[in-house]
A and B are shown apart, each in its own frame.
Chain A
């Protein structure tokens, strides 16, 4: 078959969890290999081909000039660029770094940070992909559920638009028939402002949604923050909650605090 999708997988500043979720397509692997070939995937392949790709999945955020250069290069060679997971979309947990002034984190961690930094530049800041290049598909989540990854692959193969959820986790939570832990148990659930796609994993496991899919479309973050104040959270608690997976986004920065 010559018309298989050429799918490349890249890793920037991230934890490899998204690639691991991709490899969790275990039962689905034969189907994936039927619709796609994988010319570039360093974690899984030794022969990696530089060339033109139909789809590039880019895991991780951009935090060094080297990564930026690679991102720009792969953008030119890819028809579709997928911001693969929360780091690539919104910076995720490592973006908490962005509230620490440059140089300070280095001094906490390294004995002689300047000695390192003079040789090798790190932005000491976490940037989502679309700060630098156009992104075609934002595949949210930490990690994005494997069914969402499959949905993206399948849709591209069929020439259709992938069905990515921009409604809140609450929709999925209701479908799971959970009792609302925010309303009835007064626990600080991020579900009302967080994009769906996970299947409401946390509330179903009796845990508040932590917001790992980032903001839904048009969320009302300040209203949820008011609710959190009413149920007894401090302003610091609220800041921490919003400054976790997607604090650097416009939607959450009001509650997460200016950097």
Chain B
């Protein structure tokens, strides 16, 4: 057994953004364990001050190019909450479609582009093209579908433009939506194949029971609105988020880590959502979960990949249901600006995302507060690694490093998001 060991990844590949991993084990004890993110800070909460409430979602979209949709929707909902606007059912449904589209493309990116190469022994999806063309083609097709949903509803796949306060500047064309519906139905087979493919991979057996936190709604699978619930019994309205989740600075880095008050780190993302809302997944996703022997609650963070794949089926089913009920009619989007404070929590592909704004009489932002999924997960990833590393001491350095990287990739961190305000300790060494 190797009692002294150093695992060092200078620039973690196949995750979004710039981060590094450093673990030092001495005489079997972990002396140092840092998930460092050296992506520079962008100070969004500072420069949002003074901007108009009608443009906040357009600006916060630029926090993240992978999940611009939830950043838009969360900002819009928080602003609408501050202004006392109740949006129409159609707007809520169109936003759900858009977020599901974003979840599909982001999940497929993580599953096939970022994670699958590790399991199949390739360095990237590009290297898989020769020997696994069918798998790559399936990935590209599903990813395109997700992007196309966002584009159809939001006018652009990345940083959509038609979603605005109290509605959409353009309601999608019903005929286009009917064609999209057909593609969604056809894509189900690819989604089944995705679940089967990922459940056939050798997923590391590693259980660590941490608190799982997700949105939950009695009537539907919650992605855009709901109560904040957890596996430890949390059950709160979104406007009380700050009473339950606290951020703190850690001495070795500039990251603010999130923790549940009085408890500790927590996990957000597909595994938490599926664990906490399993009975609200679509019939077909639950059926397939049974077929592959996936049971909830599941506390293996590597199983996030399976949860992600099951969520793709659910997203397709829910999108079909939503398209069938949208009236596709023009609506009045007018609203009045007033002062107020608003809150919103949504589910980004990688977990809950919190925005809050204080708006002045003139509609200007006076205060902004944003906490992203990766900021929520950062401490939990480290805590997982603390237990994982001693369990893999018998692996070679290379295998152990890869296993640690695979755990990080299972969380699908979005580092650009996490540093919209923080700058974690980091360096790049060549």
Contacts and interface: CB of A to CB of B under 8 A. Distances in A.
B40 interface: yes
Interface stretch (A103-111, A161-169, A223-231): A103-111
Contacts of A43: 13-17
A179 interface: no
A18 interface: yes
Nearest to A15: B65
A45 B123 contact: yes
B337 to A, nearest CB: 13
Nearest to A69: B428
Contacts of A67: 40
B38 to A, nearest CB: 7
A65 to B, nearest CB: 10
A101 to B, nearest CB: 11
B126 A210 contact: no
A43 B415 CA distance: 11
B416 A14 contact: yes
Interface string B100-116: 00000000010001100
B46 A100 contact: yes
B66 A20 contact: yes
A122 B40 contact: yes
B34 interface: no
A158 B21 CA distance: 41
B192 interface: no
A109 B62 contact: no
A20 B65 CA distance: 7
A202 B154 CA distance: 10
Interface residues of A toward B: which range?
35 or more
A17 B71 CA distance: 13
B65 A17 contact: yes
Contact of B421 (A109, A112, A119, A143): A109
B328 to A, nearest CB: 15
Contacts of B11: 42, 48
Interface in B389-418: 405, 414, 416
B249 to A, nearest CB: 6
B266 to A, nearest CB: 22
B104 to A, nearest CB: 13
B45 A109 contact: yes
Interface in B145-202: 147, 155-159, 161-162, 164, 169-170
Interface of A: 11-21, 23-24, 26-27, 29-30, 33, 38, 41-48, 50, 63-64, 66-67, 70, 92-94, 96-97, 99-100, 104-106, 108-112, 116, 119-120, 122, 124, 142-143, 198, 201-202, 204-207, 210, 212, 237, 240, 244
Closest A-B pairs by Cβ, 7 of them? A17-B65, A105-B46, A205-B155, A45-B124, A93-B62, A47-B123, A15-B65
Interface of B: 11, 13-18, 38-47, 49, 51-52, 55, 58-59, 62-66, 68, 109, 113-114, 117-118, 123-126, 129, 136, 140-141, 143-144, 147, 155-159, 161-162, 164, 169-170, 249, 254, 405, 414, 416, 421, 423, 425, 427-428, 430
